[in-house]
Structure 1
Amino acid sequence: MMIQTSPRSTALGITGLLGTISAVLVAILPFFQLVGRAIADGIISAIAIFFLIQMIAERNSRWLREGWFPLALALWLVIVLASALSHSSHSLVEALVMIRFPLFARALETWVLTSQKRQMSVQLSIAAAGVWIVSQCWQQYLTGTNLMGHPRWLDGALTGPFRGPRAGSALLMTFFPGLMLFPVLLFQKGGPRNKLLASALAAFLALTMVLVGQRMPTLQTGLGLLLCALLIRETRLIVAAAAGTAVLTILALPVLSPPAYHKLVIHFLEQMSDFPHSDYGQIYIRALMMVHQHPILGMGFDGYRRLCDDPIYQHGFPLLDKWVLQNNPHEGCNIHTHNFYLEIATSGGLLALALFVALVITWLSTLLRAYLSTRDALLGLLLVIMTVLFWPIESNSSFFTERTGGWVYLLLGLGLARARMLTIGQSARTQTTG
Structure 2
Amino acid sequence: MLINRPLGFPPAAHLFLYLLPALLLFSRAIADVTVVLVAIAFLIFSFKKCDWDWVKQPWFLAILLFNAYLLVVNLPLSSDSSESLKYVLTFIRWPLFAVALSYWVFNDAKKRQRFLISLLLTMLLIIADTLWQYFFDVDWFGIERFSDTRLTGPFRSPIPGTMLLRLWFIALFAAFFIPLFKSSVLRQLTFLMVAMGSGFVFTFLTGERMALILFSSACVIVFIAMLLEYKQYKQSLLLMLAMLGITLMITLFLSPEMFERSIVSIGSKLSTFAESDYGSVFKAAWQVWRDNWWLGSGLHTYQTVCEQQQLLIDSGLMCTHPHNLYLQLGAETGVVGLCLFLFMLYLLYKKVLGALLAQRDWIKAALSFSVLTVSFWPLTGGISVLSNWVAALVWLGIAWVLAISSVDSSEPDQCLTDVNR
Query: Kindly tell me: are residues 348 and 245 of structure 1, through their superposed partners in 2, closer, same or farther at Cα, counting changes over 3 Å?
Result: farther
Q: Secondary structure at the match of 2:335?
A: helix
CA distance in 2, matches of 1:194, 1:425: 18
CA contact (8 A) 1:45 1:104 kept: yes
Task: Structure 1: state its 5+ residue gaps.
Answer: 1-12, 315-324, 427-434
Larger gyration radius, structure 1 or structure 2: 1
- Amino acid corresponding to residue 275 of structure 2 in structure 1: H
Go from structure 1 to structure 2 and tell me whether the alpha carbon gap of 1:201 and 1:225 turns closer, same or farther (over 3 Å shift). closer
1:83 to 65, 68, 75: 75
Deviates more, 1:300-309 or 1:261-270: 261-270
Which of 244, 268, 271 does residue 269 from structure 2 map onto? 271
CA shift in 2, pair 1:284/1:26, >3 Å:
farther
1:36 counterpart = 2:27: yes
Partner Cα separation in structure 1 for residue 225 and residue 189 of structure 2: 18
Distance in 2 (alpha carbons) for counterparts of 1:71 and 1:242: 45
Tell me what 1:124 maps to.
Answer: 117
C-alpha distance in 2 between matches for 1:37 and 1:308? 25
Instruction: Work out which of the residue numbers 207, 210, 222 in structure 2 matches 1:213.
Output: 207
In the alignment, the residues of structure 2 paired with residue 43 and residue 194 of structure 1 have an alpha-carbon distance, to the nearest angstrom, of 32
Compute the RMSD of aligned alpha carbons.
Answer: 3.2
Partner amino acid for 2:288? M
CA distance in 1, matches of 2:70, 2:241: 43
Shift of 1:227: 1.4
Which is further off, 65-74 or 232-241? 232-241
User: Structure 2 length normalisation: TM-score?
Assistant: 0.83
Q: Distance in 2 between matches of 1:184 and 1:24?
A: 19
**Which residue does the alignment assign to 2:3?**
none
Give the distance between the partners of 2:34 and 2:11, measured in 1 at CA: 13
Structure 1 309/199 Cα, relative in aligned 2: closer, same or farther at 3 Å? Answer: closer
- Supply the AA of the counterpart residue of 2:279: G
2:321 alignment partner in structure 1? 336
1:279-321 CA distances to partner (integer Å, 9 max, x unpaired)?
Answer: 111111111112122122111111211111233x85xxxxxxx
1:291 maps to which of 289, 292, 300: 289
Q: CA deviation at 1:25?
A: 3.1
Which residue type is aligned with residue 72 of structure 1? I
The aligned residue for residue 167 of structure 1 is 160
Cα distance between partner residues in 1 of 2:75 and 2:316: 25
Instruction: Return the letter of the residue paired with 1:270.
Output: S
Tell me which residue corresponds to 1:431.
none
332 and 143 in structure 1: CA distance in 2 versus 1, 3 angstrom threshold: closer
Gaps of 5+ in 2: 1-5, 413-421
Structure number with greater CO (CA < 8 Å, separation at least 6) is 2
Does residue 344 of structure 2 align to residue 359 of structure 1?
Answer: yes
Name the CA shift for 1:246/1:342 in 2 (closer, same or farther; >3 Å): farther
Q: Choose which of 416, 420, 423 in structure 1 pairs with 2:402.
A: 416
Q: Which residue of 2 aligns with 1:226?
A: 220
2:330 & 2:289 partners in 1: Cα distance? 6
Deviation at 1:68, TM superposition (A): 1.0
- Whole-angstrom CA distance in 2 between matches of 1:184 and 1:55: 28
Give the letter for the 2:245 counterpart. G
1:180 and 1:112 map into 2 onto residues whose CA distance is 16
- SS of aligned partner of 1:223: helix
C-alpha distance in structure 2 between counterparts of 1:122 and 1:208, whole Å: 22
Count residues in correspondence.
395
- The aligned amino acid for 2:241 is A
Whether the aligned pair in 2 keeps the contact of 1:299 and 1:348 (CA below 8 Å) is yes
Is contact 1:187–1:194 with CA below 8 Å preserved after alignment? yes
* Bigger shift: residues 273-282 or 225-234: 225-234
CA positional deviation for 1:393 = 2.3
Q: Which deviates more from structure 2 when the two are superposed, residues 379-388 or residues 276-285?
A: 379-388
Deviation at residue 271 of structure 1 after TM alignment: 2.1
TM-score (norm 1): 0.81
Whether the aligned pair in 1 keeps the contact of 2:201 and 2:248 (CA below 8 Å) is: no
Q: CA deviation at 1:173?
A: 1.9
Q: Structure 1 residues 189 and 349 mapped into 2: Cα distance closer, same or farther (>3 Å)? A: same
Within-5 A mapping of 1:110-259? 110-179=103-172, 181-182=174-175, 186=181, 189-190=184-185, 199-233=193-227, 234=230, 237=237, 240-241=241-242, 244=245, 248=249, 251-252=252-253, 255-258=254-257
Q: How far did residue 382 of structure 1 move?
A: 3.0
Q: Structure 1 residues 188, 382: closer, same or farther in 2, change over 3 A?
A: farther
Alpha-carbon distance, 1:223 to partner: 1.0
Match runs of 1:380-391 below 5 Å: 380-391=366-377
Give the conservation status (yes or no) of the 8 Å contact 1:158–1:212: yes
SS in 2 for 1:153: coil
**Cα distance, 1:206–1:95 mapped onto 2, change above 3 Å:** same
Task: Check 1:142–1:73 CA distance in 2 against 1; reply closer, same or farther (3 A cut).
Answer: same
> In the alignment, which residue of structure 2 is the partner of 1:397?
383
Quote the offset at 1:46 in angstroms: 0.8
Change (3 A) 1:293 1:250: farther
Partner residue, 2:418? none
Cα deviations by residue, 1:322-376 (Å, 9 ceiling, x for unpaired):
xxx8xx3565653211111122222211111111111112222222223221628
Kept in 1, the 8 Å contact 2:94–2:392? The answer is yes
Once the two structures are overlaid, the 10-residue window that deviates more, 31-40 or 393-402, is: 393-402
Task: Please say if residues 35 and 97 of structure 2, whose CA atoms lie closer than 8 Å, have aligned partners that are also in contact.
Answer: yes
The amino acid across from 2:267 in the alignment is L
**Distance in structure 1 (CA, Å) of the matches to 2:56 and 2:25:** 34
357-366 or 177-186: bigger deviation:
177-186
Counterpart code for 2:211: P
- Equivalent positions of 1:18-29 (< 5 A) are 19-20=10-11, 24-29=15-20
Instruction: Indicate the residue corresponding to 1:308 in structure 2.
Output: 306
Contact 1:215 1:268 in 2 (8 A): yes
Are residues 1:280 and 2:274 paired? no
SS at match of 2:299: coil
